[in-house]
């Protein structure tokens, strides 16, 4: 018996030791006992980090939707698979059973086929958090089409860049979306994006807000009439273990987002196994992850992981602040949520509004609380623990990435003693290493360094779509024979890990990974701007907020800084989305640069955090006097 369900700390160590002593045989056992295969694998694992090439369960044949839906029909056809909670608390929740999910996915899959989508084709999904989003993701997987979900808060340029990069033939969207008291014109954004996407042949539109929209003849169709006509049975496409399942974009240090490619079998096995253990999910539990399916958290821990376990997974369309800041707790009470998984930024936003709204609701159903997306600070951790968990629910601070596909460092509830701000120990099968600047592994405890992983795990991304060289350069070139995460971490006296943050130029704002480069590109489009540099600074709600340093072009005439600031934020909103707007803007006469012309963001970061005495070595700067000027500006503003 593989230990599919870990029950205590001793068992964790025992299973962990087994999993790292022989990873292939460990994962083989898990795969064998808990999934449905059309054909067994010939080889569990082959890998070479120098290429890099990683293959899990090679030779196996399967379909992930058979594992997420069909195989549960016999034993739990009437169990709720997806519990949809709408934006408006007065609109009734919708319970979609496993049987209904099967029918809806089959119908949707048949519609995709009827519009020419075949195995391997890319389908871009730009939908709000409504059932059609989960259903369409599964429909793609059922017929072997590669889904690429783009978060429906991204701008039209961000959308078109992604559509063009993965060469999607089809876009799935809705007329609009609800967001608290507002509506968003999604179809309008798609129309704008598609002006730059000649490869898109068809757009299927779900009706959500009943708005007047433009339907382009020969390209756009309403989804519902097609679904009504579609057959309710659709055979699964038999996929190879390493066939692509999806592409999901994540920002990088250049302007171009990285299309992380995940494949089928390993991703399924790892997300299912982590879901079961990290949330200690039991039959009849109601599990809720508040993320959007547009992020990896939603892919792995709203859709695939929970459904592969036959769980009930909640999908929430709305926002934590509507109609008031008690909405999350109202939903917990209403649906008797047992596991609640959210981001530190949400916890901080809610904590800001005191404890009255949390105390108003009965949260006694809760058993496990989760955190993901960024380091959870001590204060937020305690607020979450005291007021939401009432000191009775373990908090799982789960560290992982779009690239890792599943949770990597985390406590196992009721087993691992938790410690505020620590993600604690590696999950089963995960072998972390801390590295120093010289490429040497740092052994022992009470040390810090750069976080790497030494051995492949089943759900790791296999490549960057269309750019394998960039995959190699970004993740496998910094340290020999290791996957480099881009994060820094420390290991305490008992071996617990605490993630300290990104060591590169990606800033995490409200749990969203934003690259500095595309934001700077947007700012630089302003006709008065010469140059810009973006850094993050600590913010009590968002975790980090963005601060921009801008130099203006020397035109002889003076510009109104307030106007330029407004225009710059508008450009950012148009090009990337409102999430990337700058909280602070300073107009400076020069940026701190190295002699080779590289902007030293490290210095700007320190100044923005008011750590004026920790600027480190400034001798490599081209013009050290700009540092004093910037310091004075920021100090005067504080
Ligand atoms: C799941 C997700 C990945 C980056 C990652 C970290 C940061 C995520 C934690 C965390 C500290 C955590 N994917 N991060 N979880 N930092 N503690 N528990 O967020 O691709 O969008 O971001 O997020 O820097 O590298 S992601």
Please name which of 290, 132, 313, 303 lies closest in space to residue 208, comparing C-alpha atoms.
Answer: 132
Residue 347 lies in a domain: no
Assigned domain for 488 exists: no
In a domain, 365, yes or no: no
Q: Tell me the CA distances in angstroms from 62 to 36, 102, 493, one per residue in order.
A: 7, 17, 44
| pLDDT digit string, tens, across residues 439-480 | 999 999 999 899 999 999 999 999 999 999 999 999 999 999
> Is the confidence at residue 602, as pLDDT, over 90?
no
| Ligand 1 centre distance from Cα of residue 401 (Å) | 5
Q: How confident is the model at residue 515 (pLDDT cuts 50, 70, 90)?
A: confident
Average pLDDT across the chain, whole number: 94
Q: What is the pLDDT of residues 41-63, one digit of tens each?
A: 999 999 999 999 999 999 999 99
At 1 the pLDDT is 43
Three-state SS letters, 91-143: CCCEEEEHHHHHHHHHHHHHHHHHCCCCCCCEEEEECCCCHHHHHHHHHHHHH
Whether residue 553 has pLDDT greater than 90: no
The pLDDT assigned to 95 comes to: 98
The pLDDT of residue 353 is 86
Domain shared by 430 and 566, yes or no: no
Cα-to-centroid distance, 96 and ligand 1 (Å): 31
**311 shares its domain with 402:** yes
Which is the closest atom of ligand 1 to the Cα of 371? 18
* Same domain? 470 vs 540: no
Residues 152-206 pLDDT 10s: 988 899 899 999 999 999 999 999 999 999 999 999 999 999 999 999 999 999 9
Let me know whether 511 and 450 are in one domain: no
Residue 606 counted as domain residue: yes
Hey, whose CA ends up nearest to atom 16 of ligand 1? 374
Residues 602 and 471 reside in one and the same domain: no
Ligand 1: which residue has its CA nearest to atom 18? 399
Q: What's 474's domain CATH number?
A: 3.40.50.12780
**Does residue 584 register a pLDDT over 90?**
yes
Is the pLDDT reported for residue 509 higher than 60? yes
What lies within 8 Å, CB to CB, of 283 at 6+ separation is: 310
Q: What is the pLDDT of residue 555?
A: 74
Residue 428: phi and psi, rounded to 5, are -45, 130
Sign of CA dihedral 369, 375, 378, 379: negative
Residue 412 is predicted with a pLDDT of 98
Residue 635 has pLDDT above 70, yes or no: yes
* Cβ atoms 286, 332 nearer than 8 A: no
- Based on the fold, state whether residues 441 and 552 are members of the same structural domain: no
How many structural domains are present in the chain?
A: 2
Provide the residue range defining the domain that includes 538.
507-637
The predicted pLDDT at position 620 comes to: 65
Tens of pLDDT, residues 609-632: 999 888 876 766 778 889 999 999
Q: Are residues 515 and 475 in the same domain?
A: no
Contacts of 444 (CB under 8 A, 6+ apart): none
Could you tell me which residue, 525 or 36, shows the higher pLDDT?
36
- For residue 346, tell me if it sits in a domain: no
DSSP sequence for 306-334: HHHTT-EEEEE-S-TTSSSTTHHHHHHHH
CA of 361 to the centre of ligand 1 (A): 30
pLDDT digits (tens, 9 = 90+) for 395-451: 999 999 999 999 999 999 999 999 999 999 999 999 999 999 789 999 999 998 999
Proportion of the chain above pLDDT 70, given as a percent = 98
Mutate to test the pocket of ligand 1, among 298, 499, 506, 542 (most ligand atoms within 8 A of CB): 499
């Amino acid at each position: 018996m593989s230990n599919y369900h870990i029950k205590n700390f001793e068992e964790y160590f025992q299973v962990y030791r087994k999993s790292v002593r022989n990873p292939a045989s460990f994962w083989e056992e898990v795969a064998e006992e808990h999934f449905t295969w059309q054909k067994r694998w010939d080889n569990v694992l082959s890998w070479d980090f120098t290429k890099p090439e990683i293959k899990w369960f090679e030779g196996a044949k399967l379909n992930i939707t058979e594992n997420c839906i069909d195989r549960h029909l016999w034993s739990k056809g009437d169990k709720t698979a997806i519990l949809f909670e709408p934006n408006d608390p007065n609109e009734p929740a919708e319970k979609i059973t496993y049987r209904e999910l099967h029918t809806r996915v089959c119908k949707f899959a048949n519609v995709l086929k009827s519009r020419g989508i075949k195995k391997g084709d890319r389908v871009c999904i730009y939908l709000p958090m409504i059932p059609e989003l989960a259903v369409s993701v599964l429909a793609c997987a059922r017929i072997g089409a590669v889904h690429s979900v783009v978060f429906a808060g991204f701008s039209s340029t961000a959308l078109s860049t992604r559509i063009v990069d993965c060469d999607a033939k089809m876009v799935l969207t809705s007329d609009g979306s609800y967001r608290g008291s507002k509506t968003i014109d999604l179809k309008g954004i798609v129309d704008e994006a598609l002006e730059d996407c000649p490869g898109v042949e068809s757009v299927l539109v779900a009706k959500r807000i009943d708005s007047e929209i433009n339907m382009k003849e020969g390209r756009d169709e309403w989804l519902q009439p097609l679904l009504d006509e579609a057959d309710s049975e659709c055979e699964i496409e038999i996929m190879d273990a390493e066939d692509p399942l999806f592409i999901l974009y994540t920002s990088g240090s250049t302007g171009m987002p990285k299309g992380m490619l995940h494949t089928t079998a390993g991703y399924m096995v790892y997300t299912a196994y982590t879901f079961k253990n990290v949330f200690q999910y039991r039959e009849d539990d109601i599990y809720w992850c508040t993320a959007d399916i547009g992020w990896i958290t939603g892919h792995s821990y709203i859709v695939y992981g929970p459904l592969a376990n036959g769980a009930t997974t909640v999908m929430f369309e709305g926002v934590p602040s509507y109609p008031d800041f008690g909405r999350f707790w109202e939903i917990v009470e209403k649906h008797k949520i047992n596991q609640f998984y959210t981001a530190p930024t949400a916890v901080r936003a809610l904590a800001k509004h005191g404890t009255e709204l949390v105390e108003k609701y009965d949260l006694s159903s809760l058993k496990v609380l989760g955190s993901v997306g960024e380091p959870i600070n001590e204060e937020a951790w305690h607020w979450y623990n005291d007021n939401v968990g009432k000191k009775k629910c373990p908090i799982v601070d789960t560290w992982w990435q779009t690239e890792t596909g599943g949770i990597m460092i985390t406590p196992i509830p009721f087993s691992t003693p938790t410690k505020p701000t620590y993600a604690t120990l590696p999950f089963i099968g995960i072998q972390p290493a801390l590295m120093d600047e010289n490429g040497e592994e740092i052994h022992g405890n009470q040390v810090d360094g750069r976080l790497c992983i030494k051995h492949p795990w089943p759900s790791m991304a296999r490549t960057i779509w269309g750019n394998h060289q960039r995959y190699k350069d970004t993740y496998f070139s910094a340290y020999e024979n290791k996957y480099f995460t881009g994060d820094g971490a420390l290991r305490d006296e008992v071996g617990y890990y605490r993630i300290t943050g990104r060591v590169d130029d990606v800033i995490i704002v409200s749990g969203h990974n934003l690259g500095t480069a595309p934001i700077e590109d947007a700012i630089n489009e302003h006709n008065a701007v010469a140059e810009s540099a973006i850094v993050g600074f600590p913010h009590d709600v968002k975790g980090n907020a963005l601060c921009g340093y801008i130099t203006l072009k020397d035109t002889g005439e003076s510009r109104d800084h307030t106007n330029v600031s407004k225009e710059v934020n508008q450009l950012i909103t148009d090009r990337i989305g409102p999430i990337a707007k700058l909280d602070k803007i300073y107009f400076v006469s020069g940026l701190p640069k190295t002699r080779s012309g590289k902007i030293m963001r490290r210095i700007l970061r320190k100044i923005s955090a008011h750590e004026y005495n920790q600027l480190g070595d400034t001798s490599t700067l081209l013009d050290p006097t700009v540092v004093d000027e910037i310091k004075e500006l920021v100090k005067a503003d504080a």
